[in-house]
Each structure stands twice: as C-alpha cells, then as structure tokens.
Amino acid sequence: MQKKALFFAGAVLCLLAAGWGYYQYQKPRAGTSGIRPDYEITAAQLYTEYSSNEAGADKKYNNKVLQVTGAVKEVQNTAQAVNILLAGNAMGGVNCSFEKSPERPITAGEQITVKGRCTGFLMDVSLVDAVQTDK
C-alpha cells in the first residue's frame, strides 16, 4: 500500500515538473521595448571592449539591455526576422536581431540607435529582441 502511495506521489511530481517545463518553453520572450537600457554605448566602443577583453565585457554586458548607436553596415531580411550589422571596426560589429520588423526600412550607411539584450560575442557582438529607438 505504501509503495503505491510513493509511486503515485512520484508520478504527480513528474507531471508537475513536465507541465512547468512545457510552460517555460512556450512562454514568449520578454521584449526590450518597454525596458530602460542598462548601458548606452556606441557600436565601436562595444565591439572594442569585447574584442580586447571578452570575459570582462561579458561580465559587464551579458544579458543586459543595451542602447547601441552606430552606422548600419549590412541589412539582412529573412522570412522570419530582420538582422542588421552595426559597424564596430574593420573586423566586425554588433549584430542586431529584431523581434519584429522595424517601422521604417533601414538602409546600409545610415546612423541608427537600437536597443536590445546582449547575448555575448562570437565574431560579432550579438543583440537579440532589438527595437529601433530613433524613428
């Protein structure tokens, strides 16, 4: 009798854990549009900090909301998203993945300000959930 009760309690706990995991997986990511940025920085400064001391910059900026200003180097439009690369230096820059299409078209060469969540450095600094803050 006690084995059945333990088995039932274990099954209920497993179902609760699975339900919580499914909820967390399906929960939409929090956007950055209504959040005040933790740091305001230029794309060149951000890229320089990451390329010179990745561990220190990661400790400072990773998972923080940044407002980054820079010149658009490249624009990539896909079916799901818009990605832009802000010029950092000749080696790389800041890759911004927009959570939804910007209100106006972005063209290479223009100076823009973008707010997004920093996810680290891999050839370029990555910002996700980006929104254009200058309209």
Q: Are residues 9 and 52 in the same domain?
A: no
pLDDT digits (tens, 9 = 90+) for 14-49: 989 988 888 888 767 666 677 888 899 999 999 999
Residues of the domain holding 97: 39-132
Q: What is the pLDDT of residue 68?
A: 92
Q: Are residues 5 and 63 in the same domain?
A: no
Q: Are residues 24 and 43 in the same domain?
A: no
Q: Are residues 65 and 119 in the same domain?
A: yes
Mean pLDDT score of the chain: 85
Average pLDDT over residues 53-67: 91
Q: What is the pLDDT of residue 60?
A: 92
List, as own/partner pairs, every contact residues 36-42 make where C-beta atoms lie below 8 angstroms and the sequence separation is at least 24, other chains included: 36/65, 37/65, 37/66, 37/67, 37/115, 38/64, 38/65, 38/66, 39/64, 39/66, 39/67, 40/66, 40/67, 40/69, 41/66, 41/67, 41/68, 41/69, 42/68, 42/69, 42/70
Q: Are residues 77 and 22 in the same domain?
A: no
Q: Are residues 17 and 46 in the same domain?
A: no
Residue 135 pLDDT greater than 70, yes or no: no
Q: Are residues 22 and 61 in the same domain?
A: no
pLDDT digits (tens, 9 = 90+) for 64-116: 999 999 999 888 887 777 888 888 777 888 998 887 777 777 888 889 999 99
Domain harbouring 91, CATH code: 2.40.50.140
User: Which of 7-11, 53-57, 86-90, 125-129 has the lowest average pLDDT?
Assistant: 86-90
Q: Are residues 59 and 102 in the same domain?
A: yes
